[in-house]
A and B are shown apart, each in its own frame.
Chain A
Amino acid sequence: MPTFVYMTRCDGCGHCVDICPSDIMHIDKKYRRALNIEPNMCWECYSCVKACPHQAIDVRGYADFAPLGHSVRVLRDERKGTIAWRVKFRDGRVKNFLSPITTKPWGSAIPDFRNEAEPTQAERDSELLAFEPESIRLDDGGLHTLESNGLKLKEGVYY
Chain B
Amino acid sequence: MKASILYLFFIILSSLTSANTITVAQKGRINNLGKAIALAKNGDTIIVQKGHYPSYNTIINKSLTILGKDFPVLDAGFREEVITILARQVKLDGFVIKNSKVGSLRDYAGIRIHRTEQVHISNNKLMNNFFGIYISDSKHVSIYNNSTQGTNSAQNSGNGIHMWQCQDIKINNNYSSGHRDGIYFEFVKKSTISNNRSVKNLRYGLHFMFSDDNLYRGNTFKNNGSGVAVMYSKRIRMYNNLFLENWGSSIYGLLLKDISNCDIKHNRFIRNTTGIYMEGCQGINACNNQFLNNGWAMRVLANCVNGEFTRNNFTANSFDVTTNGSLNLNNFNNNYWDKYEGYDLNKNGIGDIPYHPISLYAQLIEQIPQSVMLMRSFMVNLLDKVERAIPSLTPESVKDNHPKMKPWEI
Query: Does B bind A?
Result: no
